[in-house]
Structure 1
């Protein structure tokens, strides 16, 4: 059974939905930034902004249904989504043993809230695919343009107001793009996500010149963040596209771009001009390795099975050791899970990622490539920052989008109520 509209042009409707989805995603990502030094204003922006975008994603989802669609989607790759729900369930249960229930609950609710947002956002895309075949709305384009616009704000800001948009490190010797607004490594990861999305616009010859300009600005912003891991991730994305491409011209252009960028970028960003002291930083991951060692040797034996509570790494607010710096988070999403939910949580996360990877590999060629490229920057970031199972950040948002994008498929059956609704909106059965 198939359905089609009776002589109806959907271009205006689809263009409007495209802009709405872009604006919703852009603002949702923007709500993770610290736009004000005033704590109260920042909390208002984050809470009201994110809840507003959740409501907006629900509105767009319902608008698509009212226009002429029916939510007859069925679950797919249920183990990926199922294990993620088990992870959240264990996190909720950990309120019983967390020494700061308020903080654990806040982090849990923010993570759950983004999951509900992603649920309606992804369902909207599926309904468009199922009921408006041939439409031009693409997740990679929405992600790429949202990341580009946010990075552009920072690139402009670094010239207009460097005191706000730059963060001084190493005693003021190094300035990194991000300021107090966003951790430079997290901002670099966002640039990597933008590269992953816009590379697909290059592949499909969509506004090619304008897309190349966007990519140049993204790489410039990425360079300014000084994020080693994000730079490596962006280069891997380009290499991944080269390996998957059947177009010789695209492959040659990408290889030339990599050869031009890689030597200078690696020497400047990763090796820091060959400075011996900075090289030692690279070898210890800027002090993270000793910190992780202390966590495993001193912190983990206290609560090995169930951890200290959702997003808690010690009984106190900070983990402190005589052998390393004090820290509130682990700078590694897998270590974070191990400390806050113990070995049981780590096992759940491991299987969740395994089933997510399997689900991605089972998708069609374009979708598999897109999701794989999106996973590259957020997983690399997860080894050195908050990551996909850490404290609330937009890396979690991107990962949840990926999970839900492999969790549905079009259904073949319609309820009598859905058939009546589709008939009223101008569809006929053929």
Structure 2
């Protein structure tokens, strides 16, 4: 049967035409194959689910670094095929194969893919006395930077997760990872400019930023490069907070607010759920459990249901910590003073019936900012430890596999 079909087809061609046709097939198929493979890699190489199925973050970073080489590899064979058709070396119906390449390139560079996410430099900022949000229950990411406080609405950060602000000669870069419910603020130098930054994707539910100038990737949830190093131009990290706009305005009445755009109104003003299922092999908590992530080395986590009516003393790795909540804000401190004194704290009522914070070792009185105000240790200051409330446990475990889960019970901390 197969031989009869070959004979029937060959009967329609002269020997010379048959030779040219077969030669054209041998060239056209490899050209289309190379173009489709390159376009497919470009289209789906930065997709978190596909990348996780292959090798994870390294697939995404490699795809972005090779983006223009892959573009040439996809478009070059297409142009070669068009030229061959124009010269009569291939039939015109071979051009139908180019539609697949165009479709794959559209997946990568379509307006729907590129527009929802922006990088913004110098947003419009007004004080909370001059402007507000649609409702006071909307959540904001708050940053206290030097003497100034800034609030960034959740709904704006969903669409614009990378924001850079300038205050005279200082620059702050905010990277929001909405699907991790985490935000990282970096104090940066002139080396980092928003125009050089690009949103790549959300692998592991963390925003991934590419600095075209230096060819570096910055992982949003860690504030470090993809290989765990400090990015070029980053001078340090600044603590971030998440709370309702009403609570933030009460704490910082002189705060400045990033004004949402009209397009931001379509986005929710509350925390988003993880977009991708975390890769958890074993865990004592559901992946979407919200935790308090303490940025020690290694990281530590506590349940949001932990009772902070009294100071809570725990140990994260080798670091002794104390946590307390004041005015609705949770703070963590290293409770080691002068290298060899480990303090524990308790509340006591003074003569004026006001609640004070006292250490058990020297009887000194402390402020809730971690500064000793009265007593033997007057003037001493506890080292603040950065923490984030509401981070998803599954995301934390994916990016910080050695995260130490600390549970508390009636007898004190129980560490897992």
Provide the TM-score with structure 1 as the length reference.
0.20
Higher relative CO (Cα under 8 Å, sequence separation at least 6) belongs to 1
Larger strand percent? 2
In our comparison, the structure showing a higher alpha carbon Rg is 2
Provide the TM-score with structure 2 as the length reference.
0.20
